[in-house]
A and B are shown apart, each in its own frame.
Chain A
Amino acid sequence: MSAISVRSGTATTETGPGGAPAPAKRKKARTRLPFRVRLRRDWPLLLMAVPAVLLVIAFNYLPMFGTVTAFEYYDYILGFWQSTWVGLQNFSDLFADPNFWHAFENTIVLSVIQLVLFFPVPIALALLLNSVLSSKIRSFVQAIVYLPHFFSWVLVIVLFQQMLGGAGLLNHLLLTHGMNAWNIMTDPGAFKYLVTAQSVWKEAGWGIIVFLAAIAAIDPALYEAAAADGANRWRRTWHITLPGMRGVIVLLLVLRLGNALNVGFEQFLIQRNAVGSGASEVLDTYSYYYGVAANNFGLGAAAGLFKGVVSLLLLYGANKVAHFFGEDGLYRGTR
């Protein structure tokens, strides 16, 4: 759902709101109003936006300028202004560090696994749930599967530990049935799948909300017509429901690709001790452990900046691909 609103938000800024009665006729007259008149008219609205704008400047924009530390040997005692300027040295250290490339590789691999194993789950669940006719059952199931979205990562991982960990339920069952224990929680080889399973458990239920909405927006008459033409349940799903969801699916894919380097942070931080940094290091944890925790702030900031820039490029690329396939994607250039 994040995608939709992002898109609607952006679209709104460009094409004007759909809901409000803002007739096109008045448009010209309004834009000609002098600045002072508009200010006199709109100052209460601007005033309302001020707190949010201030917070965003302080905690989103100032840090963007703070990325300057990526070009320094940042020394907390000397501070931001006095630390030694080292140009691109942090980046060349970063690119020479096998741990960094290891974290990068982990991030990409995890992203791909999540794409393949996570992405289809909410779609399938939404289709399944949509086919349930009883609205009581439907809302009951919805209420249950949305719930884990509101759990913290610490909580989710404790639950997994208690179910799958060395002293957990699964191993207890295995051992009492004479089988060998398998501590999935500390197995570096299984870690990729473990974290994906955790993500599915936590977020897949919540993910269906968008798809259900997309399905609900499909004109029921289409189904009736198809049924009259003799299309069975599966064919109707294939030819009507899925195409109806196409826009949303592509949009979410674009976002997913744009977010390829954001595979999660707290989830990895919490489990790092259990599986070791080899399996669990991703770009964000690298930035924390090699930057803040190892007191090498410049290097950590360089890793963060690298990630931010690559993410932007990915988003741009993914959106281009979407346009290529005739979809709106995240945004369209101004018409």
Chain B
Amino acid sequence: MPSSTAFTRRGFVTATAGVAGAIAATPLLSACGSSAANKGGVTTSKGLASILPDYVPLTNGPTPDIPIVTGKAGATSDPGFLSYPTNLVKTVSGTPGSGGSYSAIIPLWGTIPKAGNAYYTALNKALGTNLTVNPANGNNYGTTLPTLVAGNKLPDWINIPSWNNGQANTGELTTERFADLTPYLSGSNIRKYPNLAAIPTGGWQSAAWEDKIFGFPCWTSGNSFTGVLYYRGDVFSSKGINPGEVKNSDDLYALGAELTSKSAGVYAFDGLWYSIQQMFNAPPNGPGAFVIKGGKVISAYDTDEFAAALAFAYKIAKSGYMHPSAVAGDTNDGKQRFWSGKSLIEADGTGAWDLADDTSGKGANPSYVRSAFPIFAADGSTPTIPLGASSGMTSYLNKNLSKTQIEEILEVANYLAAPFGSYEYTMINYGIEGVDYTMTSSGPSYTKQGDNESNQAIYQQLVTPQSAVTNFGASDVTKGLCAWTGNAVKYAYKPTFWDMNITAPSQYQTAYSMAEVVDIVNQVTYGSKTVADFQTALANWKKSNGQKMLDWYTANVYDKYGDGS
């Protein structure tokens, strides 16, 4: 997928709902006498630093048209490319594989392609392996993983999104079922695999558990932000509205009355929740999201900032300026509403701003332009934006694989990690020329077959190179997104437990999932429950098992390893 963050809307949104990252706490089992529980391991950031792979950016690739911007807290924007390079670089010589057969399972939010299609076959030929990737439904991947693990049918290679770490019990799996890749990848060992070495260090940090590297990072990014506040640029300019004048939440609210025209079925707002949280400086929240208060771990929900954000979301939902379908909680058709101009301002991930969006939007209205407000704070002060984990997903290898098999897979991974501008990247992302895509003056363009096969982000869920923003045929999209990110990284900060991998023991999983609270938070943002209902639910959660779980985090994570900063 040739866009900076190729998460789908849903994937991206959930991506930030889980703690991910890597100062590698212990697998953190309950004291149940398992062998895993005894493996404490020194888990300091120093310990991790000594094993992290070297970072060796590739030098022979194309130079980006829009360079990387480095902001605060190590946040970086992605490079932007406005045209497809004409002379593609070969980063891998020969075929990486030696004919081994491997199975892999990944989550997919798109259309599951036909098994054994032309694209798979061609890629397998290029890889020199018989790699069977089975895409499972991304939307219920979290309920799929526990059955897969409990059924004892782990494939050779599996993607586990960080937000599913609790359900999959990844912490315990790494010591019991997954292969330790540290000997192959730590320090200068990784230089044997130049494309892997070009993945920024943060990604490897996300793939580490207990001071060991266990997996390959997918979608590594120095700017995984949750919410971008989008507006219909074409409508704003035709109405003469200057988005630069929106400096705080009241300004935003005022736009509601100005833009809403119920008789025409046009509403100012769609779902804004993810941007509202940023405006009010609410910490990243949801299951497994915490902050430290008075030396204790508390739920990120349990903060004044979060309550203020929620109150504003409720106000928007009740204002009458939010599209009724959005109020009814229908998120599936949100993009459709935005494209057709039924709603004019919406919050979404950075992944929403891409070529496909531009094509679909222009299909509904030829003058369609997606634009984004630069981030601002609710009270007009200097804004902040929390960094998400460096990599939202990690793919792991089965412990049963032999050393030679692991080495073969490493070669395959090196091929799959080929960066933008390489011959291999084109193969992975576009497939076979003439079958899956055609080369046009502005770059490759998918055919219908390619749209169902090579455009589905399959192999990218195993390992992904440094992201690049590329939208050929829609340069404005690339420019807009790069400008927005380049600005946002300047206000980034690292939230509590950032890039730490933690799994709570299974008896806390129910409390961990916070199902009822999450549900009620959603309903408050739709206006069907009040902030008071939320407070009650949160109090109930703490009373049942929630507080116990928080105490466990204080004692076993915070007191031992700190907050990750």
Contacts and interface: CB of A to CB of B under 8 A. Distances in A.
A and B touch in the complex (CB under 8 A): yes
Interface of A: 73-78, 82-84, 86, 89-90, 93, 96-99, 102, 166-167, 180-181, 183, 186-188, 276-278, 289-290, 292-299
A297 B146 CA distance: 10
A96 B545 contact: yes
Nearest to A90: B507
14 contacts: A76-B150, A84-B30, A98-B543, A98-B544, A99-B515, A181-B324, A183-B325, A276-B519, A293-B146, A293-B167, A294-B512, A298-B506, A298-B507, A299-B510
A117 to B, nearest CB: 24
Contact of B147 (A86, A93, A97, A292): A292
Given A76-B149, A96-B543, 19 more contacts: A73-B507, A74-B506, A76-B146, A76-B150, A77-B169, A78-B32, A82-B34, A84-B30, A84-B32, A86-B507, A93-B507, A96-B545, A97-B510, A98-B541, A99-B515, A277-B516, A294-B513, A295-B166, A295-B169
Contacts of A292: 143, 146-147, 150
Interface string B320-350: 0000110011100100000000000000000
Contacts of A99: 510, 515-516, 544
B94 interface: no
Contacts of B333: 167
A294 B505 contact: no
Q: Tell me which of A102, A167, A278, A296 has the highest count of chain B C-beta atoms within 10 A of its own C-beta.
A: A296
Contact of A96 (B150, B325, B544): B544
B294 interface: no
Interface in B532-549: 540-541, 543-545
Chain B at the A interface: SS class: helix
B328 A183 contact: yes
B327 to A, nearest CB: 10
A96 B510 CA distance: 12
B522 interface: yes
B523 A278 contact: yes
B75 interface: no
B172 A98 contact: no
B134 interface: no
B506 A75 contact: yes
Nearest to A79: B152
Given A96-B545, A97-B545, A73 B505 contact: yes
A188 B329 CA distance: 11
B142 to A, nearest CB: 7
B172 A296 contact: no
Given A73-B507, A98-B516, A186 B330 contact: yes
A183 B333 CA distance: 14
A84 B172 CA distance: 15
B176 interface: yes
A78 B177 CA distance: 12
A26 B24 CA distance: 78
A209 to B, nearest CB: 36
Contact of A276 (B173, B325, B330, B523): B523
B422 interface: no
B34 A75 contact: yes
A289 B398 CA distance: 27
A278 B150 contact: no
B33 interface: yes
Nearest to B140: A293
Question: What are the nearest 9 A-B pairs in CB distance?
Answer: A293-B143, A76-B150, A84-B32, A296-B509, A295-B146, A294-B509, A98-B540, A276-B519, A96-B544
Contacts of A90: 507
A276 B173 CA distance: 30
B168 interface: yes
B510 A93 contact: yes
A215 to B, nearest CB: 45
Interface in B21-40: 30, 32-34, 36
Contacts of A188: 523, 528
Interface in B20-68: 30, 32-34, 36
* Count class of interface residues, chain B: 35 or more
A295 B507 contact: no
A264 to B, nearest CB: 19
Contact of A297 (B150, B173, B325, B523): B150
B507 A293 contact: no
Contacts of A73: 30, 32, 505-507
Nearest to A77: B176
B316 interface: no
Given A293-B143, A298-B506, A77 B172 contact: yes
A166 B325 contact: yes
B152 A299 contact: no
A296 B510 contact: yes
Q: Tell me which of A76, A98, A187, A290 has the highest count of chain B C-beta atoms within 10 A of its own C-beta.
A: A76
A277 B172 contact: no
Contacts of B34: 75, 77-78, 82
A278 B506 contact: no
B104 interface: no
Contacts of B158: none
A97 B32 contact: no
B509 A295 contact: yes
B520 interface: yes
B442 to A, nearest CB: 35
Contacts of B519: 276-278
B167 A93 contact: no
A232 B34 CA distance: 78
Nearest to B152: A76
Contacts of A102: 516
A297 B522 CA distance: 27
A74 B545 CA distance: 18
Nearest to A76: B150
Contact of A77 (B30, B177, B328): B177
Contacts of A187: 328
B226 to A, nearest CB: 21
A190 to B, nearest CB: 12
B544 A97 contact: yes
Contacts of B173: 77
Q: Tell me which of B150, B324, B523 has the highest count of chain A C-beta atoms within 10 A of its own C-beta.
A: B150
Contacts of A296: 506-507, 509-510
A176 B467 CA distance: 46
B329 A186 contact: yes
B143 A278 contact: no
Contacts of A84: 30, 32-33
A293 B523 CA distance: 22
Contacts of B506: 73-75, 295-298
Q: Tell me which of A96, A289, A293, A298 has the highest count of chain B C-beta atoms within 10 A of its own C-beta.
A: A293
Contacts of B33: 84
Nearest to A99: B516
A222 B75 CA distance: 88
Nearest to A74: B506
Q: Tell me which of B168, B329, B505 has the highest count of chain A C-beta atoms within 10 A of its own C-beta.
A: B329
A6 B333 CA distance: 48
B177 A299 contact: no
A181 B333 CA distance: 16
Q: Tell me which of A102, A290, A295, A296 has the highest count of chain B C-beta atoms within 10 A of its own C-beta.
A: A295
A183 B330 contact: yes
B507 A299 contact: yes
Contacts of B505: 73
A296 B505 CA distance: 9
Contacts of A180: 324
A283 B329 CA distance: 25
A73 B152 CA distance: 18
Contacts of A298: 506-507
Q: Tell me which of A180, A188, A298 has the highest count of chain B C-beta atoms within 10 A of its own C-beta.
A: A188
